[in-house]
Amino acid sequence: MTASLRLAEAREAEGLAAFLARLLRWDKAAAVRLQAFGNVLAVFGQPPFGGGVLAVHTAELAEAYEFDATVAAGQLLDGLDEETGTVAVPAAVTGPAWAGMLPPRGGWRRVEGLPSPDDVRAVAAAVVTEFRTRSEALVPEHRTRAELDALAEDIWSRQLGTTGLPLRAVHAAHALGFLRPVRATVPAPRTAGGDGELAMDLLAAGSWLRLRTSYGSVAVRRGSGLGLTVSPV
């Protein structure tokens, strides 16, 4: 192990564990990039179905650190102790290409026109249902990877209202649990809105758009032209 980080509260460990588990659900060999700056730990990952979408979960640290490494998500999850709130960081691995092209740390500005959290959830559910319905309607000989990729591109390249955010980012946020309501029965995220509501906003910095919620963020570069894979959730 190269480092040990101590989180500020137990809920920080719970949230990080949930994020890593969701990434590993689709990709057992997933890698994540860790950046610790001051009292903030940012964990970046790429959902395999996201088509260029990057996900980031942040956690508050008990003390200030300066740290940057790309590691195996599974080993990081294994080194996370939810009872003590400590994270044993495994040895670094050779990172995937996306790990060198992260969104900027600062310079973000709010973008107007984002629908309500309930409306965003409804859009996510609708496009997942549309993909399933249309893919199941294909005759077997046309249900090829090329046809499914084309179908995914048709659906998830659409924009969320007038925001410019592609629906593939909304789909990724939904699949990673970033759109789920804040429940009174579990510890609320630090960034929950008033009265336990899910905090959600859309930000822009340069060519990047970022959908940020109480549970994490998804970011995508506008006009990246990156392809999609087809794992509706």
Range scoring the smallest mean pLDDT among 44-53, 75-84, 213-222: 44-53
Dist. CA 139–CA 202, nearest whole Å: 39
Q: What is the pLDDT of residues 211-228, one digit of tens each?
A: 999 999 999 998 654 444
Q: Which residues are CB-neighbours of 106 under 8 A, at least 6 positions away? A: 205
Q: Give domain limits for the chain.
A: 3-98, 110-221
Largest CA distance in the chain: 58
Inform me whether the pLDDT recorded for 230 exceeds 50: no
Give dist(CA 117, CA 196) in Å, integer.
13
Topology of domain 3-98, CATH: DNA Polymerase III; Chain A, domain 2 (3.10.150)
Nearest Cα residue to 127 out of 165, 157, 148: 157
Mean pLDDT of the chain: 87
Q: Count CB-CB contacts under 10 A for residue 6.
A: 15
Q: Please state the pTM of the whole predicted model.
A: 0.86
For 98-132, what is each residue's pLDDT tens digit? Answer: 999 999 989 999 999 999 999 999 999 999 999 99
